[in-house]
A and B are shown apart, each in its own frame.
Chain A
């Protein structure tokens, strides 16, 4: 099962196994990893699952849809490698993925 590492803003790392087919967001929520809020439950409607995808993995996580681009533009501290984690499906290729969480979600 793919392993995803979530790094909190203060540097605390959490490595958890997330089944193929779940989203990176669900992996965090289902394992009580702090720093991803996912208010809307994964509908690309709230931008509170904002993460920074580690440089080594950017090319494997896909690109933002129009809907995602629109929502993420309102998050705080958006960078080029920002994604809404509810829009990243976990695949075997993403085994070892590292994402970082921002200082806050709103």
Chain B
């Protein structure tokens, strides 16, 4: 284990296992962001999957909620958009219910029919021809970033690689001024920060900061509403009938969706992949011996990291799930992070295995009509990055404690201290 002095980390894991075994099920609360920051979530979900796969938590910082913890049950909810709504006005797709005035519609937090039209407005960004066009750019940038990394000197992989690469990608997808791209990372982090995390202290503060985002994006958008064809997300939204007349709230909602979905998640997969290979050195050996395994490894990284721990729905009707009676209006939380560890669906689910069969059978991108639009773009970024890493560095070693994000939504990593001992 690399992310803390060995005895401290295994002590924390031991304590968590003991607590999960000793705590009565009706006192379980897996919404606590500390579980994910401390990386002690596993035994809690293992017990829920075994003993209460659909579990009601009557009281938490986020109110009452159902936890759905097994793969098949999560699939059943994710694909049943008629019974389980994503609508922002009912609370949207995260466990926290923000005050009504801050509930921002976006196509992820919307049901059909409008969801369908808006998703189709932006999905051309990942059409096969566009992916081919982006591939070259991604490779050039990955190469450039990797070539400037220090050798034999400690640095934070998250800052120099994960954030830098994904921010550049995001700036391209938005055709956003390159020199201001740090704003995209900033707005993304502000949009998702837990109010107890220190990054933002209230919904009001969050909203105020994000007004800068609306202003900036509106200015760019206004310049692109007409004229010759353009292939960035702002132009797509400015021109499509279903998105060109959005009010500020919905416009901000969709910008945030694309910024977080297109950036934060991939960032954490880039960090998570390195973490996984260091925790499972025999997998790193396997990879070095056979670079063709990259294709299979990439979805396994996305599964193992699970960049978004959960997605939430609101029940539109009384419905039975896993033997439990969910009532209309109830909050239902699909814990992707748990479903991705469900041994009934995935063999040796806790382990990182780069040549496992059916690596794309995981929940990290969701399933159903809201399945991540950018999933193949995310995979492409990871694939290209690892191709370029393997061509340059015999190994990358994690040399200090990993710092994770205080959040029950973004399963994020802020610090991965590494040293690259040498170039090939």
Contact = CB atoms under 8 A, between A and B. Distances in A.
A104 interface: yes
Given A41-B361, A74-B119, A104 B131 contact: yes
A41 B79 CA distance: 14
B127 A76 contact: yes
A73 interface: yes
B128 A103 contact: yes
Contacts of B127: 76, 104
A71 B80 CA distance: 12
B62 to A, nearest CB: 27
A22 interface: no
B123 interface: yes
24 contacts: A37-B360, A39-B360, A40-B75, A40-B361, A41-B361, A43-B75, A43-B79, A44-B79, A45-B75, A46-B371, A67-B79, A70-B112, A70-B116, A73-B116, A74-B116, A74-B369, A74-B373, A76-B128, A103-B129, A104-B376, A105-B376, A106-B126, A106-B375, A106-B376
Interface string B333-354: 0000000000000000000000
Interface of B: 75, 78-79, 112, 116, 119-120, 123, 126-129, 131, 358, 360-361, 365, 367-369, 371, 373, 375-376
A62 to B, nearest CB: 20
Main secondary structure of the interface of A (DSSP, over half): loop
Interface in A15-50: 37, 39-41, 43-47
Given A44-B79, A45-B75, A106-B376, A39 B361 contact: yes
A103 B131 CA distance: 11
B302 to A, nearest CB: 11
Contacts of A70: 112, 116, 369
Interface in A53-106: 67, 70-71, 73-74, 76, 102-106
Given A44-B79, A45-B78, A76-B123, A71 B369 contact: yes
Nearest to A105: B376
Contacts of A74: 116, 119-120, 123, 369, 373
Nearest to A9: B128
Given A39-B365, A76-B128, 7 more contacts: A39-B361, A45-B78, A46-B367, A76-B123, A104-B127, A104-B131, A106-B376
A40 B129 CA distance: 24
Contacts of B75: 40, 43, 45
A67 B127 CA distance: 22
A71 B368 contact: yes
A39 B361 CA distance: 6
Given A73-B116, A106-B126, A41 B358 contact: yes
A53 to B, nearest CB: 20
A83 B373 CA distance: 19
A67 B369 CA distance: 10
B109 to A, nearest CB: 17
Contacts of B361: 39-41
Nearest to A38: B360
Contacts of B129: 103
A70 B127 CA distance: 19
Among B75, B358, B367, the one with the most A-chain Cβ atoms within 10 Å of its Cβ is: B367
B254 to A, nearest CB: 16
Given A40-B361, A106-B375, A45 B128 contact: no
A104 B78 CA distance: 24
B367 to A, nearest CB: 4
B357 to A, nearest CB: 11
Among A45, A104, A106, the one with the most B-chain Cβ atoms within 10 Å of its Cβ is: A106
B128 A104 contact: yes
A43 B120 CA distance: 22
Given A70-B369, A71-B368, A45 B79 contact: yes
Contacts of A71: 368-369
List the 3 closest pairs (A to B, CB-CB), nearest first: A104-B128, A45-B367, A106-B376
A39 B358 CA distance: 8
A34 to B, nearest CB: 12
Among A39, A41, A45, A76, the one with the most B-chain Cβ atoms within 10 Å of its Cβ is: A39
A45 B116 contact: no
B368 to A, nearest CB: 5
A65 B198 CA distance: 49
A56 to B, nearest CB: 26
A57 B375 CA distance: 32
Contacts of B119: 74
Contacts of B128: 76, 102-104
Nearest to A39: B360
B382 to A, nearest CB: 15
A42 to B, nearest CB: 10
B266 to A, nearest CB: 15
